[in-house]
Structure 1
Amino acid sequence: MAWKKEPLPPYQDASQPVEARVRDLLSRMTLREKAAQMAQIERSVADRSAMAHHSVGSVLNSGGSVPRPSASAADWADMVDQMQRWALSSRLGIPFIYGTDAVHGHNNLLGATVFPHNVGLGATRNGDLARRIGEVTALEVRASGVHYTFAPCVAVCRDPRWGRCYESYGEDTEIVRMMTPIVSGLQGSPPEGHPAGYPFLAGSKNVVACAKHFVGDGGTDKGLNEGNTICSFEDLERIHMKPYLDCFAQGVCTVMVSYSSWNGRPLHSDRYLITDILKDKLGFKGFVISDWEGIDRLTKPLGSNYRYCVSASVNAGIDMIMVPHRYDKFLEDLIYLVEAGEIPMSRINDAVERILRVKFIAGLFEHPFSDRSLLNVVGCKEHRALAREAVRKSLVLLKNGKDPAKPFFPLNKNAHRILVTGSHADDIGYQCGGWTITWHGSSGRVTVGTTILDAVKEAVGEQTEVIYEACPSPATFANQDFSYAVVVVGEVPYAEFLGDRTELNIPLNGTQTVNLVAGEVPTVVIVISGRPLVLEPELLDKIEALVAAWLPGSEGGGVTDVLFGDHDFEGTLPVTWFKSFHQLPMNADHQSYDPLFPIGFGLRMGLDSGTQEEV
């Protein structure tokens, strides 16, 4: 008798419809296997037991958590693939999904292309640029074996004191909406007629995206991170929720819940917003994920009544929980709560259906391992050229000469001697800001790139002498005849609550440095920051020119492309630049709007017409 090959189970048959595969696999799963699919754990605890025995559904890395020091893309891919082999050896062979915070390029990976943070991209108002950045980011992320990025952040930042302000594209809802095509860049563009809210992924060179943080995270009282957004539902919908609709129209696969509260109700336990609004009213069919230990914050001390945290968050509608370390406790409590009838089995099935749906749509069952042919794209010339383009289009010219009739830009490339100075002139880490190699970022040569000093040296003529001093003193100017000075100052890197500020002065004696130099030499000031900073009237009067460069990332050449006139300034302010932090919060729709520079402000050099103009 001829040997007859057993047919594949429907869930392993790629020719079957996604929903049929989901139903079949779900019907084969035990409660313990379902619970494990709902857990996302940190890479440091993702061993053979977690992946093969427990069949954990997802893994992530915290900022700075790496396979080994100075890990390459191949090292990352080796790690992810090993975890995947363990996952596929489990009873049902369900692949896991690996997530990372690739929020301005693949910023965890040494040598990857680092793009401007979102506030800078918001200054471009260029959705097509955002889409192209998404495409490049997806390729570099997939090169390292990673399937999933926790981006984009579509928060509408209403107060620059917020420690995540640079993760927002701007204070105006419409600016944020303009930039959501990054979702189509990351995931691929869905075909015409694709149902809004249903997840989509084009292929193995795209990554699963995540719209975050649902909802109102940028509107917290006094700009406190993880704070309380106080507003009506109508304002929540009008200001903070609209960008999510644009993401749903592009098939965004996942949504992350905010640490913050709405009128005192923590989002991580808000069934009305997560289930009634997000899932039912808005029709979102992907999975909803918590933030890092987000459910622990439902009790004080954090996680002190963990069983309550699990019950409240899962019953609210969260499908996948960032545990990230004590997954045994999470599984134990989740299973207990289901068996005790405190979490209905229908809620578990809904969560796992959504997780499996995204995994099938992402092609993980057919293509579970990394594509090593992509390794050479990481940090390649073409990707860095796109980042450089993004930098130059994000720059906002705030002042160009003391006399409007005598613009100071473009700078003379063939000047006799130029002084480049300031704490941020020669520092890749400061240029990139938070979420770069580590969680909150750091100073120094943290990754591969071009500093502004490097770029100046590359841009000027052979006969031009460039003098660099990080911390100038009066002696700097003794017997020196400088044509002009470029002073680069700004913020030190930060992330989340580490960036919450009650005052927004330029740190590292930035104001003093500017005043010293501008008192001696015609001075251009470049501000590197994730938000507007205090600019004293005396300082503004003293300097010749002022540029907001935001957090430009690894490609400082985009700054000099514009300073020396190879390209004109294009950026306009995505946020209000206040006069004093005592005015905060201040937005364009407020009655007493009295900014230093209003949202939408930005000068042009007028390279084509030979005149300076204001947008």
Structure 2
Amino acid sequence: MRHPHRRVISPRIGRSLVAIATIAALPSAVAAQPALAAAPQAAPADAAYLNPRLPVSKRVDDLLDRMTLEEKVGQMTQAERGAIDGDRDQITELALGSVLSGGGSVPADNTPEGWADMVDAYQSKALATRLKIPLLYGIDSVHGHNNLVGATVFPHNIGMGATRNPGLVRRQQEITAKETRATGPQWVFGPCVCVVRDLRWGRAYEAYGEDPRLVIEMETGIEGFQGRHERDLKSPRHVLATAKHYAGDGDTVFGSSTTGDYTIDQGVTVTDRRTFAKVNVAPYVTAVKRHDVGSIMPSFSSVDWKEDGVGNPVKMHAHKELLTDVLKNKIGFDGFLISDWAAIQQIPGDYATQVRTSVNAGVDMFMEPYSAPQFIETLLAEVRAGRVKESRVDDAVSRILKAKFELGLFEKPYTDRRYAGTIGSPAHRAVARRAVAESQVLLKNSGRALPLRRNEEIYVAGTNADDIGNQAGGWTVTWQGESGDIIPGTTILEGIEQNSGNVTYSEDASAPMSGSDVGIVVVGETPYAEGVGDVGNGHTLNLSDADKANIDKVCGAIETCVVLDVAGRPQIVTDRLPKMDAFVMSWLPGSEGAGVSDVLFGKRPFKGRLPVSWPRSEDQEPVNIGDRNYDPLFPYGYGLRTRRGHHH
């Protein structure tokens, strides 16, 4: 999901265009005598699709038979709340199937009640349509219900991959589902099951790791979101999940290649079909066959088959072979495909070509955030001209309606708020704190520097020690995330202070250090999300000058020196590593920074293991387990362990 340059089309212009297109498509005799064209009637109360005792397939068939082409195309359309909030009647007039909140797209009252009231207001407009088909509301709950201030914010996926604990990932997503659905949205755009093969990609932290086997192991999160039985989806504790981004988005080429310059984000995977199936498609086979994931989001990226002659990349949203032949027919995916943010607009050709190509390739619902009216008008024209078969539309709509019936939205369209009181609760935060502790990877521990003793004088330096925005990373309240006090929770410094009464904090290591037994330097990144976080886009894997200076000052002056790296991916520490007694990868812990101190002070053991290989230099990327001449600074799976209990 992303928010590129927004092409905003006036909803009013869009609606009049739909009206014009509708009239223009009528035979002239009917246009001259509108009285002869009977308006479609509302469904009778005993319509089969309204009967919850009937099988979902029968309900889908009955409802589909009653729908006009306009109503079907409306179901295939998803608009951003920012595009419809000022004129909510568009939901009724366009018969919209779905609305989403992009990153940072929140109600004026960003509280559980503010969210639920907003979603319910939109829902009432959907229920004012002839057939009363409820709205599906989608949101990026990628490490907790992260758009909501006060929600429990978990470590990003890369940290969860370091835990090697599928049960904990399932529990994380159960909590995320419960907190999300209590505020209205019934559908999340997660989990990301990409396999990250190059850390220069700015979305590296959204991946569980570089080995498809690890990603597959961590897909228990789908069960956490959706539940383990079909009936669970109806419960106010679960949401529809989305496996993303199909496929290859963590494996795109960095920099120039044989076919010209590629950007790594939304770039090109240059590969052969066998390798692509083994590395990039494998997690989706598990998502479909083992976890029955309800929706899948194609990637912005393209694929360029080596066996077909490199130089002809095809956008994933236009890739019929991969979307229909492989995913739907061969793997057996029976959910629906949701396009990424305005992604079809990157397909070559004019807008009609983009719409036609993506629908025919197999995309079912279209995230056209600010051009929903234009999408509807265009697809109607394509069907009427015979360039898109109505049978393809029927297939798409059937898949979308199936999800709505399975979620129980026809019976209970409005938000069940019974679990709103659990949002950000101590019980939920305790699970997140445990996840933080289990995600910490101990990479160096000379002279048993860790765990720390409680009575030691501790000197802490570094901005990231006391910045909850930095430790939460991107996709937190806003799309790119931001530094500062943006969510409730505990910082790493606050966690250290909870364990020791003898703490001095100096962001730039300028306070005197004499008398300190242990120095803790917290280095790392500031928040970013897709595109912006790519290396070469103002970002680097190298430590900042300020972080290097803090390591030099503190490790040069205090006998025991511990360095924590708070970042979405490994950073280059090769030259500074000899100065450190202990080195810990803390990832992006989220709202519960106290989980870091739990392992520093031995309340919990260190047991995290690297989900990615740690490069010696930025130039060494990409480096992955299984490479020829594999020689990273720390190998995939590395992680020292400590026993519980304090220093001896």
The 2-side partners of 1:7 and 1:349 are apart by 23
Q: 1:177 aligns with which of 216, 228, 238?
A: 216
Q: 608, 625, 629: which is aligned to 1:571?
A: 608
Letter in 1 for 2:563: V
Q: Which amino acid aligns with 1:258?
A: S
Instruction: Please give the alpha-carbon distance, in whole angstroms, between the structure 2 residues aligned to 1:595 and 1:510.
Output: 22
SS at match of 2:250: helix
> Which residue of 1 is the match for residue 70 of structure 2?
32
Matches of 2:527 and 2:455, distance apart in 1? 34
Q: Does 1:250 align with 2:327?
A: no
Distance 2:253 2:69 in 1: 41
Q: How far apart, in 1, do the equivalents of 2:66 and 2:585 lie? A: 57
1:317 matches 2:362: yes
Aligned pair 1:484/2:518, yes or no? yes
1:428–1:451: 8 Å Cα contact kept in structure 2?
yes
User: Is 1:469 matched with 2:503?
Assistant: no
Corresponding residue to 2:252 among 220, 230, 233: 220
Shift of 1:509: 2.0
Which of 188, 191, 196 does residue 152 from structure 1 map onto?
191
Q: Give 1:529's aligned residue.
A: 567
State yes or no: 1:291 paired with 2:340.
yes
Q: Structure 2: which amino acid aligns with 1:239?
A: V
Q: 1:190 touches 1:251 (CA, 8 Å); kept in 2?
A: no
Conservation of the 8 A alpha-carbon contact between 2:234 and 2:408:
no
Q: Distance in 1 between matches of 2:646 and 2:112?
A: 47
CA deviation after TM superposition for structure 1 residue 508, in Å: 5.8
Quote the residue 1:50 is aligned against.
90
Structure 1 position 339, deviation (Å) = 0.3
Farther-moved stretch of structure 1 (18-27 vs 182-191): 182-191
Deviations 1:23-64 (A, max 9, x none): 110111111111110011001223432211221000001111
Question: Matched residues in 2 for 1:507 and 1:158: separation?
Answer: 24
Q: Say if 2:168 is the partner of 1:129.
A: yes
Consecutive unaligned residues of structure 1, counting only runs of 5 or more, are 192-198
Q: Secondary structure at the match of 1:77?
A: helix
Paired residue for 2:322? Answer: 273
Q: Choose the corresponding residue for 2:411, options 355, 366, 379.
A: 366
Deviations 1:550-600 (A, max 9, x none): 001000110000000111101000000010111111111111101100001
User: Partner amino acid for 1:296?
Assistant: Q
Change (3 A) 1:331 1:202: closer
Cα distance in 2 for partners of 1:439, 1:327 equals 21
Q: Which amino acid aligns with 2:470?
A: Y
C-alpha distance in 1, partners of 2:442/2:88? Answer: 54
Structure 2: distance between partners of 1:418 and 1:156: 39
Residues 492 and 507 in structure 1, CA contact (< 8 A), matched pair in contact too? no
CA distance in 1, matches of 2:491, 2:338: 37
Distance in 2 separating the partners of 1:437 and 1:182: 22
Aligned equivalents of 2:156 and 2:238: distance in 1?
A: 21
1:207 alignment partner, SS class:
coil
For 1:154-175, what per-residue CA distance to the aligned partner results, in whole angstroms no more than 9, with x for missing partners? 0000000011100000000111
Distance in structure 2 (CA, Å) of the matches to 1:506 and 1:609: 31
Assess, with a 3 A threshold, how the Cα gap between structure 1 residues 80 and 19 changes in structure 2: closer, same or farther: same
Deviation at 1:423, TM superposition (A): 1.4
The SS at the match of 1:525 is: strand
- The Cα of 1:608 is off from its aligned counterpart by 7.3
The alpha carbon displacement at 1:200 in A equals 7.6
Matched, 1:605 2:642: yes
Structure 1 counterpart of 2:165, which letter? N
In structure 1, what is the equivalent of residue 552 of structure 2? 515
* Alpha-carbon separation, structure 1, partners of 2:377 and 2:217: 44
Q: CA RMSD in A?
A: 1.7
How do residues 178-577 of structure 1 correspond to structure 2 at under 5 angstroms? 178-190=217-229, 201=233, 203-222=235-254, 224-248=264-288, 249-263=290-304, 264-299=313-348, 305-401=350-446, 406-415=447-456, 417-460=457-500, 464-473=501-510, 476-477=511-512, 480-502=514-536, 503-507=540-544, 509-521=546-558, 522-537=560-575, 539-577=576-614
For residues 83 and 375 of structure 1, the distance between their equivalents in structure 2, rounded to whole angstroms, comes to 19
**Contact 1:407–1:605 under 8 Å retained in 2:** no
CA contact (8 A) 1:189 1:202 kept: no
Q: Within 2, Cα distance between the matches of 1:138 and 1:605?
A: 33
1:465 deviates by 2.3
1:583 to 614, 620, 626: 620
1:208 and 1:50 map into 2 onto residues whose CA distance is: 25
SS of alignment partner, residue 271 of structure 2: coil
Cα offsets for 1:480-511 (capped at 9, x unmatched): 31111111110111111111104410236212
Query: What's the CA shift string for 1:423-451, capped at 9, x where partnerless?
Result: 10100000000000000100001111100
CA contact (8 A) 1:204 1:362 kept: no
Q: Once the 2 structures are TM-superposed, how far is the Cα of residue 610 of structure 1 from its aligned partner?
A: 8.5
The change in CA–CA distance for 1:357 and 1:106 in structure 2 (over 3 A counts) is same
Matched position secondary structure for 1:555: coil
Matched, 1:78 2:110: no
Per-residue CA shift, 1:384-437, capped at 9, x if unaligned? 000000000000000112xxxx3111111111x321110101000000000000
Read off the aligned partner of 1:183 and give its amino acid letter.
I
CA contact (8 A) 2:451 2:647 kept: no
CA contact (8 A) 1:200 1:252 kept: no
Separation in structure 2 between the aligned mates of residue 202 and residue 75 of structure 1, nearest angstrom: 23
Distance (whole Å) between structure 2 residues aligned to residue 227 and residue 158 of structure 1? 13
How far is 1:477 from its partner? 2.5
TM-score (norm 1): 0.93
CA 291–358 in structure 1, closer or farther in 2 if over 3 Å, else same: same
How many angstroms apart in 1 are the aligned matches of 2:57 and 2:150?
40
Q: Is the 8 A contact 1:208 1:253 kept in 2?
A: yes
Distance 1:219 1:151 in 2: 19
User: What amino acid is aligned across from residue 317 of structure 2 in structure 1?
Assistant: H
User: 1:298 Cα deviation (Å)?
Assistant: 1.1
Percent identity over the alignment? 46
Q: 1:227-264 deviations in whole A, cap 9, x for unaligned?
A: 00011111111011111122112121000000000101
Aligned twin of 1:194: none
2:309 is matched with which residue?
none
Per-residue deviation at 1:375? Answer: 1.2
Greater CA drift, 130-139 or 512-521: 512-521
Q: Is the 8 A contact 2:464 2:522 kept in 1?
A: yes
- Residue 485 of structure 1 aligns to a residue in which SS? strand
Q: Secondary structure of the residue that 1:334 maps to in structure 2? A: helix
Shifted more, 419-428 versus 510-519: the winner is 510-519
Distance 1:592 1:201, change over 3 A: same
- In structure 2, what is the equivalent of residue 41 of structure 1? 79
Cα distance change on mapping 1:564 and 1:610 into 2, 3 Å: closer
For each residue in 1:146-194, what CA deviation from the matched residue of structure 2 results, as whole angstroms up to 9, or x when unmatched?
1000000000000000111000000001110110000001100137xxx
